[in-house]
Structure 1
Amino acid sequence: MSRIVHDSVPGRVRLAIEPLRHNTPLAIRLEALLRREPTITEVRASIWSGNLLVRFRPPLTAAEIGRLVERALDPLRSTEPESTPVEQPALPVVSQASDDGKDWSRESAEAAMTAFGGDGVSGLSDAAAAAALRRWGANAFATQHGRPWTTILREQVASLPTALLAGSAVLSLATGGILDAALILGVIALNTGLGYTTESKAERMIASLGVISQPEASVLRNGVVHHVPTEAVVPGDILVLAPGHLVAADARLIACRDLTIDEALLTGESVPVRKSVDAIAAATVALGDRTCMVFKGTAVTGGSGRAVVVATGPRTELGRIQRLAASARPPETPKQRQLDEMSRQLVWGSLACVGGMVGLGLLRGLPPLALVKSAASLAVAALPEGLSTVATVTMALGIRDMARDHAAVRRLDAIETLGSVQTVCFDKTGTLTLNRMAVDTVLVDGREHRFAAGTPAAQAADEDGLRQLLAVGVLCSDADVTAQAGGGFRVTGSATESALIHVAIDTGLDPVALREAHPLISMRARSETRRFMATRHQKPGGETWVAVKGSPADVLRLANKALVDGATVPLDAAMIEHLTAENERLAAEGLRVLGFAEAMMESGDSEPDYVWLGLVGLADPVRPEMRALLGRFHAAGIRTVMITGDQTATAYAIARQVDLSKGEPVEILEGRHLDELDPKVLAALADKTHVFARVGPAHKLQIVQALQHSGQVVAMTGDGINDSPALRAADIGIAMGTGTEAAREASDLVLTDDALPTMVTAVERGRAIYQNVRKSIRFLLATNSSEILVELAAVGLRLGEPLTPVQLLWINLATDVAPAIALALDPPEEGLMAQPPRDPQEPILRSRDFATIAREGAVITLAALGGYGYGRRRFPGVDGPRGMAFMTLTLAQLFHALASRSETRTMLSTWRTGNRPLAATVAGLVGLQLLGALLPGTRRILGTAALRPQDVAAACAIAASALVANETLKGVLASPSLPAAGLSEKDMKGPEEGANR
């Protein structure tokens, strides 16, 4: 995982480490572990280049450093959690399930140190730290490892349909139907095995995306800075903060200098937050605005500071988020509700049929024992054994297809739930946007330049004023720039600095050559009182070039001249007012605005004349595909909502860019108002709000639950720990593959390549699966009802036993599962994504569906009775009529599968979008049925008489007549006012054909 790339200079070695790129925790781990070696004098790990630079003294060698690095990388080679270092005692983990309610951002630093016994000068003593560790426990919380195999297995069998199948198997055994019981148990085993295999594979894929965390923290103890295990940090410890450090616990700042923290882990916003020791006066403030606090897991991006720890482990903001995620529970999926309801309906229907048969049989004087056996067989036949298998196989195939699209679906139900989604909640940073800063607008020399995703317009490169401003941006920067051997440049620095360098490169400037031609003399960093950065550079002619960038207001106060039409003119009050208005305009668009100025100094000058150059507005660019993607959601009748911790102005600007509100005025609600609202009021507001800004993790959970309480099926996207409670509570949680482990564990669907357009594909596939499962269920119930009606007719007409148990078993085996699964592979109907989402409260089968099923089953029954009548005239005894009834019923059910592809359109109108699996299945099963009737061995097993070719032809003709009759009735009875398959009647205004135009 590592290799030495340069060791020719004594005492210096550079290693290339494959997993180091963009991996801040690993960089911190390597630096912390190597600095413990007394002969190592310097360690620098770059997450941008993936290189590690180490300076050392003899007797240490480059090879030994390579071995140290490999040992540090060992945890990455194992999926087991990292163990506690040998030299450290085991740390007690104390339950800290509730917060003390103290908001330390409103308290002074002295109050925080007094409360926890901290000392800003010497820190805790060893004895005090040990006592605090015993009192508060380890600075750790439970690690999430995904669902255990027992949970996955239990979820496959814990359903009402499975319970009904198991009951049917027991009933079959009780009445001597061993083959029936074996078939039903085989179906249960197939469903369980398929579901378990599919979901456990997804769990393994998601687990492979894991990350590691920082092993040590810098704390002040006994007056000396020590590196201690993160788990051993306790309340009262003084954290020593420096660039590259991960904050080990929640802490109140007691001192800082130019300290900036990346709090994206908690807020989702990637722009670093500038910190201060001043307490917050407001009673309620968003997490991202608590500028005097630092939080566990966030990263120091600049400056330095010290902070007294006020919360560890479960008491931290991270621990609070974990508790929220653990307590959040998604609602029951629409499919679960619908199948459970339908299973209850089938039970009552089965009991009614059994009661009808017993009553009819007693009236006809049939023997009670024979009647009981027939009733038991009827009860088993009334329950479609293939129902669970069809649903399981269909969703498993959908999950397989999603895996090909780089999406890991963790639960079988998830893909079907996607098909019923009515609202999608998007996180902003990293989801709607690229999660990197780029220059959006430059105002220079009276002209405005707009940039598309950080790429300037072609004509911009020819303007001197723009090139001069961008040159100042290159010089007034602490970003590292190196030329690549194959061309291009490598830029390492903060998001803002990198964006300014990249736009200069895009405009044609060579930053390396520019810096070499103007060497740096001195640099003054930005501070709390001077909100700009200034650098001095030596010009080739001996002059000093001063480059300035920072807060537009501060830079304007510094400048006394301005660049106008290529000439330097005095900066008057009117110009300042105009520039201030322009600054406010850009800020209102959600841009981060910087002002730029320069000065030329002779050797004897004490204070130069600063020339105002212009304004630069930066933003996290919107993903290029997002506007079109949201348009596809809107066309499908799906509402889109943004939930972000960012400022209202930024959120509004992004919402306008991506047309989040579908052309309507953007309605915004800030997080500070959520806690004041009654849940019913919030549910009503959530249904009309497009953007929720300045929200925290608890607010995101509130918003998702409010949308659900308004009756909507909600999908939530996210990638951070702060998103995990809302991801878990949503009907369908969607996490990015590059997101945090907590987000992936809380989600139902993981986009392993972060490609959001896959969501639209998943929604379409979910809708198609729902439609196809409906088709399969209607087919199964229609064929099962025909078998029930045949049995009832035989009892009522005293025809004896029209079908033997073996024949019924063959019919269920041949005409239930295989054709129903083939039906579930029907291609999506045209216009599927132009239809509104279905009503999640609507049953999977409506009352009119049951009427249609009964009608179709009755027609097939008449065909079977017609075959039986033909057999009575043609054959003596019972085997001939029974054989003809068996042949006709089986063929009629198989033919009916071809007619079940649409509820309202006939076969003539659906043939263009063929279903080859269905055609092949029906053809194969018809061939098996005919072969079974002709072979002596199978005839004996099935209990049928020998049929001549003309008998088989007669059976085929009678079965085909049932198909023609059902298709004719479908065409005649289909009403334009009835909705298309799978849609609520209130959502549609025309027939299925109209919906598909």
Structure 2
Amino acid sequence: MSQKQHYTGLTDAEVLESRRKNGVNVLTPPEKDPWWKEFLDKFSDPLIIILLVAGVLSIGISFYEYFGLGQDWKVFFEPIGIFVAIGLATTLAFIFEQRANKAFQILNQVNDDELVEVMRNGTTTTIPRKDVVAGDIVIINTGDEIPADGELLDAVTLSIDESTLTGEPLCAKTTDPAHFDKDATYPSNHVMRGTKVMEGHGVMRVLKVGDATEMGKVFEEAQIDDSVKTPLNEQLDGLADWITNVSYGFAGLIIVGQLIHFLGWSNWQAYTLIVPVALFFWLVIKKFEDWSKAKCIFTIVGFFIIFFGMVIGAFSMVTPEATSADWSLLLAHTLKTLMVAVTLIVVAVPEGLPMAVTLSLAYSMSRMLKTNNLVRKMHACETMGATTVICTDKTGTLTQNQMQVYKTNFFGEPSNEVLYEGIAVNSTAQLDLTGDKPTVLGNPTEGALLLWLKERGADYQRLRTKASRIEELPFTTERKYMATVVKSATGKNILYVKGAPEIVFGMCKNTCGVTDREVNAQLLEYQNQAMRTLGFAYQELGDKDVTIENGKVVATSLTFLGIVAISDPVRIDVPNAVNEVIDAGIKVKIVTGDTPGTAKEIGRQIGLWNDETDTDRNIITGVEFAELTDSQLCERVGDLKIIARARPMDKKRLVEALQANNEIVAVTGDGTNDAPALKTAHVGLSMGDGTSVAKEASDITIIDNSFSSIGRAVMWGRSLYKNIQRFLLFQLTVNVAACFLVLFGSFMGTESPLTVTQMLWVNLIMDTFGAMALASLPPSESVMNEKPRRREASILSSSMLWELCSVGFIFFAITLGFYWLFNHATITSIPQMFHTVIGAAQEMTPYEATLLFSIFVWTHFWYMFNARSFETGESVFKLKMSSGFWTIVAIIVIGQLFITEIAYEFFNVEPMLHTLDWSFNPSGALDLLIIVGASSLVLWIREIYRLFK
């Protein structure tokens, strides 16, 4: 026999003293690498290393040109500009990734903020786990995660999963020394932080918190689960590999084209360079992925030695009378060509893709939290947007989870003393009376009964204290009832039973004159109103009466007390939310333990069930569900809307059947029994007041338990995918234009149309800034008007490919046309361009290079707005833009003006708004206005096309 005690817990002053003495209940993560180490890691990319080495060699050549050939000191500007551009791009990428990583840190704080039920100042309340202190009295129930190391004061059929510490999935715990397991890793009356309650309940006193716990001694920092390969990851990986290989081909052609052009198209020696270049890039594409790092470095070094040797040999044969200046020009040109080729790979390879995905996920996760969706595993953001079926439970998700006693039907006029005591002691719920309004802790149905007692002036804590518990049988979904044996305040031993009315009624010998038919009729009436019902029974025990054996009640003289109907109204916003999800092409299925009548009524109220069109084929009970074979289930599962009287594993089997039919399934659940289905589903959605086991198994926690929040999660998932598509469209369009421009330019002139520093700035715009601008766009409700995307569909849709090819090649044709013009005419201003004389090929002047660079940048700047509105069907002027988008727009504009007007010598351009002596240049200012205005036609033409369409 164990005495049911009333614990008072710590006072506020004792809590402060314990926290000062024993510390806080937070695990200190191990030290991370300092930021400067993480920053230096950004320079470990082989392409960046090649650029840096080439930059160092370029500076060496600049020293020779300045000291040996007596050239102007400005020869240092370009190599210095290369280092500045690399540093700027790398630094900004590092900063943005750090910001994204900080956004994910909320995931590692989830457990610290979960609520724990404790006794403080003589009453039950809830506090965040991190606020638990040594000495606290903590109440633990099935599904809870133990918040700290402690000693059990009370334990009822308590089993703990200690696999996180010892590997043991089930350990029996007790406060009875006679039943202690001497071979157990931890004492049988002790529980450890991080372990989980699998069965029963109890009360513990906290002994150790935070780093002093056993978990704290072996703690390793929890990492974000980004190991899951979602369809998006796989699509982007494949796309990035394909783009990378194509960019290698472009780089090889540029190297060959530039050097053959330099050596002369009529000299056969120049064409021998094709062999080492082709062989090297073939090895890069085919072998580097499988080779060791040392082997790859050896191959790169070997290529450079052989390549430079062949270049020198070919030049000496073509130009036997070459001077030192000629040799300097050759080496400078070769180095510049290699840097242009490598830079083109840097520009073409979408390094911004991982960052775009990371930023999109981080942005989505932080904003989704404001819509009551706490994303626990980042891949769930994207997968939620592809969901085709949502399997939802009823209580709390579709209903308000504000249980209240609607009506009581007690038979035989039982005494209040017996009735009230039975409700108080045969319960695991508590009431938090610290606020203005009492709130329920634990099972809301049981809590409704305690509130009913309070309304009648009965103190449930006092009733529990007066009754000594002798034996207890916890509620299970299989048994559908719970029972408690107490030494009553009346002095008698009494067995109290509570559970499903039809089951409890069937256990009773004395039914107070009520028939089975009357009980079923009453239940049907309540259930058709979507009421939850409970039946009550009791038996005064004699010395030889049997009560509980082998996990079930075996008493033979139970008296049926009656039925209580408990209502839980449908949430006001749920019908519209369900309708929105259905309109979005997502099927909704209710899985509930309630009766078919109750489930149908809820289905009617939310707009899921239609009496005129829906038949028995659309609803099934748990028993009927179990009788279906797997093939029968797969054939019928698409028609099912409701599974009533569902058992714990029914939901998991439903998910598996839907997945076998190629559906993308999201599942809601709040109980320990929901964990298998939550883990099996593509996206598991636990409830904010669910058990720790359910939350651990889930991917997203719906903080407010509402179905409306699930609809918001779908909208965020779809918008995230659209944002990544828009970033891809923007980046690849720039890629097409830049790659083809530099490639064709290599065969037209000795100078690349875009220099290394200019291409690095373009890369910064489209990779880093483009990712920031387009990945952080707010969600659009219009995505809910579309059907779910096919999981196997390419991220590059047919409309994207058409846009990419058409716009990319138009931009390429325009810029290549200007490059050809600048190579065959002397252009001093744009108005003068219309009456210029075309002549022989010549090198571009610095001002012409400025015009070409500006045309390229401003054209793609305006196209970023088109990418923002792609496939929205709306004018870009009507769309919501995030503050981050406008910040990036401002940075690009200011950055471009800074490059052309202040840092122009580092980028091989000339200022447009002022002359070299810093006086205002009206002609250049007009040229800039013409370029900005004319390039904006990219936006206006699209707006006019959309208007007519």
Q: TM-score, normalised by structure 1?
A: 0.57
The whole-number CA distance in structure 2 between the counterparts of 1:941 and 1:587 is: 78
The whole-number CA distance in structure 2 between the counterparts of 1:789 and 1:942 is: 21
The match for 2:619 is 667
Q: What is the CA-CA distance between 1:353 and the residue it aligns to? A: 3.1
The match for 1:44 is 5
For the structure 1 residues 45 and 168, does the alpha-carbon distance in structure 2 shift closer, same or farther, using more than 3 Å as the test? Answer: farther
The match for 2:405 is 439
The match for 1:415 is 381
Alignment of 1:857-868 (within 5 A): 857-865=808-816, 867-868=818-819
The match for 1:204 is 109
The match for 2:533 is 592
Q: What is the CA-CA distance between 1:491 and the residue it aligns to? A: 10
Which residue of the other structure, out of 153, 169, 191, is the alignment partner of 2:48?
A: 169
Answer yes or no: is the 8 Å Cα contact 2:389–2:663 preserved in 1. Answer: yes
The whole-number CA distance in structure 2 between the counterparts of 1:341 and 1:959 is: 36
Alignment of 1:257-336 (within 5 A): 296-299=198-201, 332-336=229-233
Alignment of 1:765-804 (within 5 A): 765-798=716-749, 800-804=751-755
Q: What is the CA-CA distance between 1:845 and the residue it aligns to? A: 1.2
Answer yes or no: is the 8 Å Cα contact 2:160–2:169 preserved in 1. Answer: no
**One-letter amino acid of the counterpart of residue 787, structure 1:** A
The whole-number CA distance in structure 1 between the counterparts of 2:9 and 2:362 is: 45
The match for 2:906 is 941
For the structure 1 residues 187 and 670, does the alpha-carbon distance in structure 2 shift closer, same or farther, using more than 3 Å as the test? Answer: farther
Answer yes or no: is the 8 Å Cα contact 2:655–2:665 preserved in 1. Answer: yes
Alignment of 1:815-854 (within 5 A): 815-854=766-805
Alignment of 1:88-127 (within 5 A): none
Answer yes or no: is the 8 Å Cα contact 2:619–2:640 preserved in 1. Answer: yes
The match for 1:340 is 237
| Mean CA deviation greater in 612-621 or 650-659 | 612-621
The whole-number CA distance in structure 1 between the counterparts of 2:872 and 2:887 is: 21
**One-letter amino acid of the counterpart of residue 592, structure 1:** T
Q: What is the CA-CA distance between 1:405 and the residue it aligns to? A: 4.4
Higher relative contact order by CA 8 Å / sep ≥ 6: 1 or 2? 2
Q: What is the CA-CA distance between 1:411 and the residue it aligns to? A: 3.9
Answer yes or no: is the 8 Å Cα contact 2:153–2:202 preserved in 1. Answer: no
Q: What is the CA-CA distance between 1:239 and the residue it aligns to? A: 9.1
| Mean CA deviation greater in 824-833 or 355-364 | 355-364
SS at match of 1:831: helix
Alignment of 1:716-755 (within 5 A): 716-752=667-703, 754=705
Q: What is the CA-CA distance between 1:727 and the residue it aligns to? A: 2.8
Q: What is the CA-CA distance between 1:579 and the residue it aligns to? A: 6.4
SS at match of 1:297: strand
For the structure 1 residues 163 and 952, does the alpha-carbon distance in structure 2 shift closer, same or farther, using more than 3 Å as the test? Answer: same
| 1:655-697 deviation line (CA, Å, top 9, x unaligned) | 455445577454336378559744x665554444334456666
The whole-number CA distance in structure 1 between the counterparts of 2:606 and 2:50 is: 59
For the structure 1 residues 497 and 473, does the alpha-carbon distance in structure 2 shift closer, same or farther, using more than 3 Å as the test? Answer: farther
Q: What is the CA-CA distance between 1:832 and the residue it aligns to? A: 2.8
Answer yes or no: is the 8 Å Cα contact 1:479–1:491 preserved in 2. Answer: no
**One-letter amino acid of the counterpart of residue 589, structure 2:** V
Answer yes or no: is the 8 Å Cα contact 1:891–1:956 preserved in 2. Answer: no
Q: What is the CA-CA distance between 1:897 and the residue it aligns to? A: 1.6
Q: What is the CA-CA distance between 1:374 and the residue it aligns to? A: 4.2
Answer yes or no: is the 8 Å Cα contact 2:85–2:761 preserved in 1. Answer: no
**One-letter amino acid of the counterpart of residue 242, structure 2:** Q
For the structure 1 residues 846 and 697, does the alpha-carbon distance in structure 2 shift closer, same or farther, using more than 3 Å as the test? Answer: same
Matched, 1:479 2:428: no
Q: What is the CA-CA distance between 1:900 and the residue it aligns to? A: 2.1
The match for 1:317 is none
Which residue of the other structure, out of 616, 625, 630, is the alignment partner of 2:578?
A: 630
The whole-number CA distance in structure 2 between the counterparts of 1:858 and 1:396 is: 34
Q: What is the CA-CA distance between 1:805 and the residue it aligns to? A: 0.8
SS at match of 2:868: coil
The match for 1:254 is none
Answer yes or no: is the 8 Å Cα contact 2:356–2:771 preserved in 1. Answer: yes
Answer yes or no: is the 8 Å Cα contact 1:819–1:922 preserved in 2. Answer: no
Which residue of the other structure, out of 857, 861, 864, is the alignment partner of 1:890?
A: 857
The whole-number CA distance in structure 2 between the counterparts of 1:398 and 1:645 is: 34
The whole-number CA distance in structure 1 between the counterparts of 2:32 and 2:536 is: 60
| 1:142-169 deviation line (CA, Å, top 9, x unaligned) | xxx9x99999x9xx99xxxx99994543
Which residue of the other structure, out of 826, 832, 851, is the alignment partner of 1:873?
A: 826
For the structure 1 residues 185 and 906, does the alpha-carbon distance in structure 2 shift closer, same or farther, using more than 3 Å as the test? Answer: same
Q: What is the CA-CA distance between 1:899 and the residue it aligns to? A: 2.4
Which residue of the other structure, out of 617, 638, 642, is the alignment partner of 2:565?
A: 617
**One-letter amino acid of the counterpart of residue 169, structure 1:** I
Which residue of the other structure, out of 588, 592, 597, is the alignment partner of 1:640?
A: 588
The whole-number CA distance in structure 1 between the counterparts of 2:777 and 2:930 is: 27
The whole-number CA distance in structure 2 between the counterparts of 1:482 and 1:946 is: 74
For the structure 1 residues 149 and 492, does the alpha-carbon distance in structure 2 shift closer, same or farther, using more than 3 Å as the test? Answer: closer
The match for 1:961 is 934
Answer yes or no: is the 8 Å Cα contact 2:578–2:606 preserved in 1. Answer: yes
| 1:76-123 deviation line (CA, Å, top 9, x unaligned) | 95346xxxxxxxxxxxxxxxxxxxxxxxxxxxxxxxxxxxxxxxxxxx
The whole-number CA distance in structure 1 between the counterparts of 2:508 and 2:881 is: 69
SS at match of 1:387: helix
Q: What is the CA-CA distance between 1:943 and the residue it aligns to? A: 1.4
The match for 1:813 is 764
The match for 1:378 is 344
Q: What is the CA-CA distance between 1:774 and the residue it aligns to? A: 1.7
The match for 1:761 is 712
Matched, 1:712 2:670: no
| Mean CA deviation greater in 690-699 or 633-642 | 690-699
**One-letter amino acid of the counterpart of residue 951, structure 1:** G
Answer yes or no: is the 8 Å Cα contact 1:433–1:621 preserved in 2. Answer: yes
Answer yes or no: is the 8 Å Cα contact 1:470–1:504 preserved in 2. Answer: no
Gaps of 5+ in 2: 56-81, 115-128, 130-144, 183-194, 204-224, 274-310, 312-333, 474-478, 491-495, 539-559, 829-842, 913-920
Question: Percent of counterpart pairs with the same letter?
Answer: 22
Q: What is the CA-CA distance between 1:878 and the residue it aligns to? A: 2.9
The whole-number CA distance in structure 2 between the counterparts of 1:226 and 1:775 is: 54
Matched, 1:926 2:893: yes
Q: What is the CA-CA distance between 1:791 and the residue it aligns to? A: 0.7
| 1:253-312 deviation line (CA, Å, top 9, x unaligned) | xxxxxxxxxxxx99xxxxxxxxxxxxxxxxxxxxxxxxxxxx9522499xxxxxxxxxxx
SS at match of 2:753: coil
Answer yes or no: is the 8 Å Cα contact 2:93–2:768 preserved in 1. Answer: no
Q: What is the CA-CA distance between 1:632 and the residue it aligns to? A: 3.5
Answer yes or no: is the 8 Å Cα contact 1:423–1:641 preserved in 2. Answer: yes
For the structure 1 residues 226 and 73, does the alpha-carbon distance in structure 2 shift closer, same or farther, using more than 3 Å as the test? Answer: farther
The whole-number CA distance in structure 2 between the counterparts of 1:485 and 1:855 is: 67
For the structure 1 residues 219 and 236, does the alpha-carbon distance in structure 2 shift closer, same or farther, using more than 3 Å as the test? Answer: farther
Q: What is the CA-CA distance between 1:351 and the residue it aligns to? A: 3.7
The match for 1:78 is 25
Q: What is the CA-CA distance between 1:795 and the residue it aligns to? A: 2.3
**One-letter amino acid of the counterpart of residue 391, structure 2:** C
* CA RMSD across the alignment: 6.2
**One-letter amino acid of the counterpart of residue 101, structure 2:** Y
Answer yes or no: is the 8 Å Cα contact 2:398–2:706 preserved in 1. Answer: no
For the structure 1 residues 655 and 915, does the alpha-carbon distance in structure 2 shift closer, same or farther, using more than 3 Å as the test? Answer: closer
For the structure 1 residues 238 and 796, does the alpha-carbon distance in structure 2 shift closer, same or farther, using more than 3 Å as the test? Answer: closer
**One-letter amino acid of the counterpart of residue 945, structure 1:** E
For the structure 1 residues 207 and 784, does the alpha-carbon distance in structure 2 shift closer, same or farther, using more than 3 Å as the test? Answer: same
Q: What is the CA-CA distance between 1:825 and the residue it aligns to? A: 3.5
The whole-number CA distance in structure 1 between the counterparts of 2:388 and 2:181 is: 40
**One-letter amino acid of the counterpart of residue 863, structure 2:** H
For the structure 1 residues 581 and 792, does the alpha-carbon distance in structure 2 shift closer, same or farther, using more than 3 Å as the test? Answer: same
For the structure 1 residues 70 and 45, does the alpha-carbon distance in structure 2 shift closer, same or farther, using more than 3 Å as the test? Answer: farther
| 1:163-194 deviation line (CA, Å, top 9, x unaligned) | 99945435545654766665665466446534
Report the count of equivalent residues: 712
The whole-number CA distance in structure 1 between the counterparts of 2:754 and 2:159 is: 81
